[in-house]
Amino acid sequence: MIDIALNGVEKYYGANQILKGVTLEIQEGERVALLGLNGTGKSTIFKILAGTEGCDKGERILRKGISIGFLEQIPLYAEGYTVREVLYSAFQDLWAVRDEMLRLEKLMTDNPTEEVLKKYGRLQELFESCAGYSIEERINRVSQGMKIDQGWYDQEFNSLSGGEKTRVKLAQLMLESPKVLLLDEPTNHLDLGTIEWLENFLKDYPGTIFAISHDRYFLDKLVTRVLELVNGQIDNYQGNFTEYLREKEERYQNQLKRYEAEQKKIEQLEAAAKRMHEWAKVADNPAMHRQAFSIEKRIERMEKTERPPAVKGMNNRFTEKDFSGEMVLVTEQVTKAYNQKTILDGCELTVRKGERVAVFGDNGSGKSTLLKILVGELSPDSGTVRIGASIRYGYLPQSVSLPDPAATILEMVRRELRESEYQVRRTLAKFNFRNEDVLKTVGNLSGGEKTRLKLCLLMQQELNLLLLDEPTNHLDIASRLWLEEALTDFQGAMIFVSHDRYFVNRFATRIVELSQGLISEFAGDYEFYKLKKAEASAQKITQKPEKQKSPQNLPKGLSRAEQPDLRKLEADISAWEAQMALLDERIRLEENNYERLMVLAKEREAIESKINDLYEQWFEFHD
pLDDT digits (tens, 9 = 90+) for 133-180: 888 888 888 888 888 888 888 999 988 887 788 889 999 999 988 999
SS (H, E, C) 480-509: HHHHHHHHHCCCCEEEEECCCHHHHHHHCC
User: What tens digit of pLDDT does each residue of 370-408 get?
Assistant: 999 999 999 999 999 999 888 899 999 988 888 888 999
Cα 367 to Cα 187, 329, 398: the distances in Å are 18, 16, 11
Rounded Cα–Cα distance for residues 298 and 302 (Å): 6
Crossing angle of helices 162-176 and 135-145, rounded to 10°: 140
> Do residues 158 and 79 lie in contact, with contact meaning Cβ atoms separated by under 8 Å?
yes
Q: Residue 222: is its pLDDT beyond 90? A: yes
Residue 133 confidence (pLDDT): 83
pLDDT class for 42, splitting at 50, 70, 90?
very high
pLDDT value of position 571: 65
φ/ψ of residue 122, rounded to 5: -65, -45
Residue with the bigger pLDDT between 552 and 341: it is 341
Does 465 score more than 50 pLDDT?
yes
pLDDT over 60 at 558, yes or no: no
pLDDT band at 581 (very low <50, low <70, confident <90, very high): low
pLDDT in the model for residue 323: 62
Alpha-carbon gap, residue 315 to 312, rounded angstroms? 8
Q: What is the mean pLDDT of the chain?
A: 84
**Which residues, listed in sequence order, are joined to residue 230 by a DSSP beta bridge?**
233
Region 536-552 average pLDDT? 53
Q: How many CB atoms lie within 10 A of CB 437?
A: 16
Q: At what angle do helices 447-459 and 409-417 cross, to 10 degrees?
A: 20
- pLDDT for res 67: 92
Write the pLDDT tens digit of every residue in 429-446.
878 788 888 999 988 888
Question: Is it the case that residue 619 has pLDDT exceeding 70?
Answer: no
Compute the average pLDDT of residues 477-483.
Answer: 85
Q: Which of 196, 198, 193, 194 is nearest to 183 (CA)?
A: 198
Q: Count Cα atoms within 13 angstroms, Cβ side, for 170.
A: 32
- Whether the Cβ atoms of residue 178 and residue 149 lie closer than 8 Å to each other: no
pLDDT at 560: 43
Closest CA to 431 of 488, 485, 498: 485
* 8 Å CB contact between 167 and 148: yes
pLDDT of res. 47: 94
Distance of CA 330 to the CA centre of its chain: 29
Give pLDDT, residue 400: 86
Using CA atoms, how far residue 397 sits from 87, 299, 517, in Å, is: 34, 56, 21
Confidence check: pLDDT of 488 > 90: no
- Grouping H, G, I as helix, E, B as strand and the rest as coil, residue 544 is coil
pLDDT band for position 550 (50/70/90)? Answer: very low
Confidence of residue 551 (pLDDT cuts 50, 70, 90): very low
